[in-house]
Structure 1
Amino acid sequence: MNEAAGIAAVLVVTVATLAIGTWGLRFSRTTSDFMVASRTVRPRLNASAIGGEYLSAASFLGIAGLVLVRGTEMMWYPVGWTAGYLVLLVLVAAPLRRSGAYTLSDFAEARLGSRRVRSLCSLIVVLVGWLYLLPQFQGAGITLQSTVGAPRWVGEVLVPVIVLINVLSGGMRSITFVQAFQYWLKLTALLLPAIALLIVWVGDGAPHPVDVPASGVGPEAWALPLAGGDPQGLYLTYSLIVATFLGTMGLPHVVVRFYTNPDGRAARRTTLVVLVLLGFFYLLPPIYGALGRVYADALVQAGRSDVLVLELPRLMVPGLAGELLTALVTAGAFAAFLSTSSGLGIAVAGVLGQDVTGRPVRGHRLSGVAAFRAGCVIAIAVPCALALLVPGVGVARAVGLAFAVAASTFCPLLVLGIWWRGLTHVGALAGLLVGGLGSGAAVLWTLGTPPGEGWVSVLLQQPAAWSVPAAFLTMWGASLATRSRVPGDVHRTMVRLHTPEQVPLDRG
């Protein structure tokens, strides 16, 4: 029965996703439709779509698993992921929309007038996108393995195929409707089982989660490092805060959605609605983590904390009711992989379509839509292959590293590019290289070696606390040293970024 319910849940989500995507196909005709939905997406729809793509495998599965093993220390993940939109709202959302760009690479070239900066930004977008896609595909494999007993490679191939069909058919216009639907599906899939599990817990008279340490973790770890004096733990927490607070504005699939708004005011309104939607959703995963400390200690012993959300309903509610609750969370988890992967696929495909597949080859150039579609195939195929070849990594950990890279590269570029007219292309290149190489080396170290002890290992596990300031200082210092290279049209660019659309500009 459990396999049948899981298979049915996956099939329902798949059919609904393809049906909505196919319906959106009739609206997609031009390159602008495929890349930014012709900038016509209204705030409430866009906010739901952003919630759909932003709440990834790390949000749906990873947070609960981390809270199960590490306690309240891991609550900084959802806090940071939500608060990052507040920083984006204040500093970036409206000016970035007014730039008229399609991608982060477009913004960089328009602001600094440099093809080298554009090329480096394109490379970083692709690498961040692939780093983020990898845990989505691997998470899909874990989900199908846990719920229906399928080999892991089935999920790691099925999700990319579905995403590729949807993105190729309708691009951003089609995916917007899909992601909005998937946000509400994910919220329902966590909320209803959480209510049922809390009722069971109260009826059982089970111990309070704080009093039940997970296997191998002492009771004090439930509140460390927030209530302890461990300097390494404090560093990891604060570095995580820096990465999540500042990395959101640099995530390619987040930024591209703000280009779909009609104007800067709509971009700000979208961000406000997103804050509400995310804040409500992130109340739920910690509930699963806390209840897991009472009912799912065996998952910690087996090293399977990432499947807590999928396994907990069966552990707490026997029989048919437990299987139905499991099917519901399975549907939500599968929707999480599809929606986030779709957004990332579009963001990476847009960059590849402009800077790789859209370039002339022997005098021939693909059309905008064809170049986008060719870029989409590359954007999805590479991380799919990596998911099959690379051993599984922690879902939340891999996504956290993607945030660290984004915070160390695009955050300094966007903040200084929008708010400081003194930024030069030399400074931007230097800062991007320092932040990108520093955080990138930390990513390779962390994914390639088991966690170790000592400050070197700690600094590389969470690099944002040192890589972000290094990137900012390098970008600022190198720009001051090359003041003569400030773009000549910087005043006009800054006026465009900061003038509300309702204020007429003198075109004379």
Structure 2
Amino acid sequence: MIFAFAVAPVVLVTLLIGLRGVAAMRTTSDFLVASRRVSPLLNSAAVSGEYLSAASFLGVAGLVVKDGVGALWYPVGFTAGYIAMLVLVAAPMRRSGALTVPDFAEARLASPALRRVAAVVILVIGGLYLVPQFRTSGLVLSVVSGTPYWVGVVIAGAGVAITLALGGMRAATYVQAFQFVLKLVLFIVPAVWLLVAVGPAVRSDAVHPVEFTRFERDTPVTFRVGVTMDVSEPTSVRTDGGPAVLAPGPWQVAAGTRVIFPAGASVPEVRGEPLPGGSGWQRPLLDLQNAGYPLLGTWALLVSLMLGTMGLPHVLMRFHTSPDGRSARRTAALTVGLLSMFYLFPGIYGVLARVLVPHLYLSGATDTAVVAMPAQVDAGVAGTAFTGLLTAGAFAAFLATSLGLVLVVSGAIAYDLLPGGLGALRIAVFGASTVVVLLALVAIRLDAGVLVTWGFTVAASTFCPLLVLGIWWSRLTVAGAMCGVLAGLLGSAGAIAATLFGPPLSGWPAILVAQPAPWTVPLAFGTMIIVSLRGRPPAWAAAAMLRLHLNEDRAASGGPAALRDLRHSTRSTRRSSTVRRSLGRLVR
């Protein structure tokens, strides 16, 4: 019922809009950047639709349930990053004439090797960002309709692959702009309904939280992953095997177990996780890893999100679809306003979910809190209808973000690593989607918000230094850029691997390993600067930078004399990059 009412129309409309781009897609530029003809208003709606991922639509509210109101720093970081992008990156990136971030890297420093390294970084970021989109689509559909987890994952993967193969960036632009409007409506209207329907008592409980220690009603909990919990007192429950009494002490729950806790029963504690609603839950800071350093944890998150936004390859590619640098800057400015409007509401869902569905933290399914609430408020037609609307909005979030990510990953494969035409790009789309689906099938136990934040961390540690210094510092060298990108990549990826597979840590080291941006970003910047100062930049570096900062009308009329110095370098250097080809045309 929910699938037919909510998910199927969103997937169908996505595919139909994808057909719109078929006739207009004839070249690689059409596929990757929609021939650079997207207006600022349409582009900002598409950027917003692409950026509002599962972590925004569902993940923030789920993190509020689990980690407390300090999780509201996530939307602050998500939005503030665009201000830095507006000031430092948007217009120069568009003026570069590049199609992808690796394309810009090679053009700026004339290094095919740096281009390949940047393409590998895109694959890492894309994997960390895409897996939670597909993973949450499977989780949400299984919660609201009872289908197996893999069904939602496969539906999301197939819808994204077919849409992109049909229409490329042009189709993605129309889909993402449409889905931003859809997500905005389907997020705001149910929020207003929930606030009215829950009544004054629940609204009061939402703003005066107490620790979740007793079940208020008979509560079924399905554990999709295995977990260890501590039982504080003898507790009678019902399982698939019949009634049972839990003895005080540790309790190992196997994956797939369904337990019904009776009203008034004591809530068992998940090892390593505080109960929702306690004193720490109300603190307006984020205590990462429960390490006891909330201020450090909050700053670590903000550094990752704000600087990571400047380096997200699927967002940067969006600015290349603008007609000129001025349009790219307008796109970034409009995007800040649109995102700010959306992010007024995740906090409402989060504090209501702590009252209505706090038990989701037991099973690690807090990402589904938004779609689980309407049924708790109204078991009739209204609850079902609003569950369907929120599920439709959630799938729109999965698809819109996944379109941009799969597009940029396929571009890294078939344009930067293994250059090919439209056929190669289409094959790469299906190949990338298949790999991400397989990864998502085994990533059910990982939080969407955590995975997405790691994607931001890698972007902040690699592309942010490369772009900022490449755009604003003429002395950057190939060796400096290469060493800095590799240092940031190895540092951030190593920290992520240590978090997943290493021994548990405590205190501030746990924060700096789980969220390494405070040290990996300075490491990358410092490495680039120190290594570059020991070498010499290419002779045409200053002239190449002028192109990034001159308005297009001045560049088109010939620009300053420094641009003419490029004539020799562009003729004597292998011009595989889009930017260097355009530089050659400019000076002739």
Q: TM-score range by the shorter chain?
A: over 0.9
Deviations 1:223-271, CA, capped at 9 Å, x for gaps: 1537999862221110100000000111111011000000000000001
Give the structure 2 partner of residue 89 of structure 1: 86
Name the CA distance, whole Å, in 1 between partners of 2:211 and 2:450: 19
Give the structure 1 partner of residue 499 of structure 2: 446
Q: TM-score, normalised by structure 1?
A: 0.94
Structure in which a larger fraction of residues adopt strand: 2
Q: Secondary structure in 1 aligned to 2:8?
A: helix
Residue type of the alignment partner of 1:315:
Q
Name the CA distance, whole Å, in 2 between partners of 1:275 and 1:349: 27
Residues 70, 222 of structure 1: 8 Å contact kept: no
Give the structure 1 partner of residue 279 of structure 2: 219
Residues 214, 293 of structure 1: 8 Å contact kept: no
Residues 10, 331 of structure 1: 8 Å contact kept: yes
Deviation at 1:378, TM superposition (A): 2.5
Give the structure 1 partner of residue 268 of structure 2: none
CA RMSD of superposed structures (Å):
1.9
Residues 210, 222 of structure 1: 8 Å contact kept: no
- The answer on 1:417 being equivalent to 2:478 is no
Q: Residue 253 of structure 1: which of 314, 318, 337 is its match?
A: 314
- The answer on 1:488 being equivalent to 2:539 is yes
Give the structure 1 partner of residue 161 of structure 2: 164
Name the CA distance, whole Å, in 1 between partners of 2:301 and 2:286: 13
1:8-407 to 2 correspondences below 5 Å: 8-204=5-201, 206-213=203-210, 215=212, 216-217=275-276, 218-225=278-285, 232-358=293-419, 366=420, 368-407=421-460
Residues 133, 383 of structure 1: 8 Å contact kept: yes
Residues 210, 219 of structure 1: 8 Å contact kept: no
Change in Cα spacing, 1:414 to 1:345, as seen in structure 2 (3 Å) is same
Change in Cα spacing, 1:451 to 1:178, as seen in structure 2 (3 Å) is farther
Deviations 1:269-313, CA, capped at 9 Å, x for gaps: 001111111101111111100111222222223332111001011
Residue type of the alignment partner of 1:497:
L
Q: Residue 428 of structure 1: which of 476, 481, 489 is its match?
A: 481
Deviation at 1:351, TM superposition (A): 1.4
Identity %: 47
Name the CA distance, whole Å, in 1 between partners of 2:300 and 2:472: 24
Residue type of the alignment partner of 2:282:
W
Residues 202, 355 of structure 2: 8 Å contact kept: no
Report the more deviating stretch, 423-432 or 290-299.
290-299
Report the more deviating stretch, 214-223 or 73-82.
214-223
Provide the aligned length of Structure 1 versus Structure 2: 495
Q: TM-score, normalised by structure 2?
A: 0.81
Deviations 1:72-92, CA, capped at 9 Å, x for gaps: 211111000011000000000
Name the CA distance, whole Å, in 2 between partners of 1:408 and 1:339: 25
Name the CA distance, whole Å, in 1 between partners of 2:22 and 2:16: 10
Q: Residue 509 of structure 2: which of 452, 456, 478 is its match?
A: 456
Q: Secondary structure in 2 aligned to 1:25?
A: coil
Deviations 1:400-439, CA, capped at 9 Å, x for gaps: 0100000000000000000000100100111111111000
Name the CA distance, whole Å, in 2 between partners of 1:52 and 1:19: 17
Change in Cα spacing, 1:168 to 1:210, as seen in structure 2 (3 Å) is same
Change in Cα spacing, 1:46 to 1:395, as seen in structure 2 (3 Å) is same
Name the CA distance, whole Å, in 1 between partners of 2:201 and 2:485: 54
Give the structure 2 partner of residue 362 of structure 1: none
Name the CA distance, whole Å, in 2 between partners of 1:205 and 1:355: 54
Residue type of the alignment partner of 2:312:
L
Name the CA distance, whole Å, in 2 between partners of 1:259 and 1:227: 38
Residue type of the alignment partner of 2:437:
C
Give the structure 1 partner of residue 4 of structure 2: 7
The structure with the larger Rg is 2
Report the more deviating stretch, 327-336 or 444-453.
444-453
Structure 1: 5+ residue stretches without partners = 359-365
Structure 2: 5+ residue stretches without partners = 213-274, 560-586
Q: Residue 501 of structure 1: which of 534, 547, 552 is its match?
A: 552
Q: Secondary structure in 1 aligned to 2:359?
A: helix
Name the CA distance, whole Å, in 2 between partners of 1:188 and 1:447: 37
Name the CA distance, whole Å, in 1 between partners of 2:523 and 2:177: 37
Residues 291, 508 of structure 2: 8 Å contact kept: no
Name the CA distance, whole Å, in 2 between partners of 1:355 and 1:303: 38
Residues 7, 148 of structure 1: 8 Å contact kept: no
Name the CA distance, whole Å, in 2 between partners of 1:103 and 1:170: 18
Residue type of the alignment partner of 2:552:
E
Change in Cα spacing, 1:203 to 1:267, as seen in structure 2 (3 Å) is same
Deviations 1:64-105, CA, capped at 9 Å, x for gaps: 011112222111110000110000000000000000000000
Q: Secondary structure in 1 aligned to 2:25?
A: coil
Report the more deviating stretch, 40-49 or 196-205.
196-205
Name the CA distance, whole Å, in 2 between partners of 1:44 and 1:113: 34
Residues 71, 285 of structure 2: 8 Å contact kept: no
Change in Cα spacing, 1:26 to 1:441, as seen in structure 2 (3 Å) is same
Name the CA distance, whole Å, in 1 between partners of 2:403 and 2:210: 38
Deviation at 1:203, TM superposition (A): 4.3
Residue type of the alignment partner of 2:538:
P
Residues 140, 371 of structure 2: 8 Å contact kept: yes
